[in-house]
Amino acid sequence: MDLRKGFHEPAEKPRRFYKTVAVTEAEGGFGVLLDGRNLRTPKAVRMVLPTRAAAEQIAQEWAAQTDVIEMATMHATRLANTAIETVGATREAVADQIVQYAGSDLLCYFAESPRELVSRQETAWGPLLARAEAEAGLVFERCEGIQHRTQPPETLARVREIALELDDFALAGLAFGTALFGSAVLAVGVLRGWTSGEAAFELSRLDESFQEEKWGIDAEAAERTARLTGEAAMLELWFRALATVD
C-alpha cells in the first residue's frame, strides 16, 4: 500500500466554489470551514485534525487555490484524507509497508565506486545511520553495490513498533515519507527532527545529483525534483504541525 500512489486528477478540475477559509474547533480536534461549511473527505467524512496547526496547514492549501482546485498540489489535504479514510482501518498493513522499505533501505546500499560518490555517501548517510542506531534502536546492515542484504529481524520489528506507536495522521506521514525517500531511516529522521524534509530528499537522491553534476539535468527531471522537494517540505511541516501543542 503506497500512500503516494492511487490518486488521479479528475478529467475536469473543479472550479473554486468558496470565498472564505477558516479553522474552527471541532469535537476531537480542529476542522476547516469553506464559507462556513465543514470540509469533508472524498467519502464525505468531516475532516477533523488533531491539532490547530495541522488544520491550518490544510486551510492554507485551500486558501491558495485560485480559479480551479488543483488537488495534485494539495499534498497535506490528500494526506489527511488518507489518514482519515484509510489508515485507521489498515494500520497493520501500513506498518508492513514501512517495514518492507526498511528491509531494503536506500541508506544501507553504498556505491562501490567512484570514490568521490562513496565518500559523499559516507559523509551524508553514515551519521544518520549512527543516530538511528543510538536514538531509535535501529541497527542496519550496510553493504556495497545492489545485491540485497537481509536486515536483522530485531531491526525490522523495531521499525514496525515505531510505526504502530504513531497516531493515524503521523503514521500516514511516515508511510508517505518512506515511499518518497525509499528509506524508513530518512522518514523517521524527518519525523523525529533529525533532518529537514528537503535535506532528507536530497540525501535520497545523492547518486542522482552526483550524476547530474557530471552530465547535466534536463527540464523534465528538474520539474520532477522540484515537485518531490515540495512534497518533502510539506511532510516536515505535517510532522511539526502534528507535534504542536495547542
Question: What's the CATH code of the domain at 38?
Answer: 3.30.2180.10
Partners of 32 in the beta sheet?
23
Q: Do both 82 and 95 map to the same domain?
A: no
How many distinct structural domains can be found in the chain? 2
pLDDT value of residue 75: 95
Q: Do both 108 and 139 map to the same domain?
A: yes
Q: Output the CA torsion sign for 59, 60, 66, 72.
A: negative
Amino acid at position 228, single letter? L
In a 3-state reduction of DSSP, which class is residue 123? Answer: helix
pLDDT value of residue 214: 84
b/e sequence 5-27, b meaning 16+ C-beta within 10 Å:
eeeeeeeeeeeeeeeebebeebe
Tell which residue, 13, 22, 18, has the closest CA to residue 70. Answer: 13
Between the two ends of the chain, the Cα-to-Cα distance in Å is 32
pLDDT, averaged in runs of 10, over the chain (246 residues): 53 86 96 97 96 98 94 94 96 98 96 94 96 97 89 98 98 98 98 98 95 85 92 98 86
Q: Do both 119 and 81 map to the same domain?
A: no
pLDDT value of residue 90: 97
How many whole angstroms separate alpha carbon 154 and alpha carbon 145?
Answer: 24
Q: Do both 185 and 208 map to the same domain?
A: yes
pLDDT value of residue 14: 87
Q: Do both 132 and 193 map to the same domain?
A: yes
Q: Do both 54 and 84 map to the same domain?
A: yes
Domain end marker among 64, 88, 112 = 88
pLDDT value of residue 218: 84
Could you tell me if residue 198 is inside a domain? yes
Could you tell me if residue 222 is inside a domain? yes
- Residue 29 and residue 38 in contact, taking contact as beta carbons nearer than 8 Å: no
Q: Do both 81 and 97 map to the same domain?
A: no
Neighbours of 165 (CB within 10 A): 10
Backbone phi, psi, residue 8, to 5°: -130, 130
Which domain does 175 fall in, by range?
Answer: 89-243
- Residue 65 and residue 48 in contact, taking contact as beta carbons nearer than 8 Å: no
Neighbours of 79 (CB within 10 A): 25
How many whole angstroms separate alpha carbon 42 and alpha carbon 47?
Answer: 10
pLDDT value of residue 1: 54
Could you tell me if residue 11 is inside a domain? no
Could you tell me if residue 225 is inside a domain? yes
pLDDT value of residue 7: 47
How many whole angstroms separate alpha carbon 49 and alpha carbon 31?
Answer: 6
In terms of pTM, does the model score above 0.85?
yes
Question: Nearest 5°: CA angle at 85, between 83 and 89?
Answer: 85
Residue 151: CB partners within 8 Å, gap ≥ 6?
102, 103, 104, 105, 108, 140, 141
Question: What's the CATH code of the domain at 158?
Answer: 1.10.3580.10
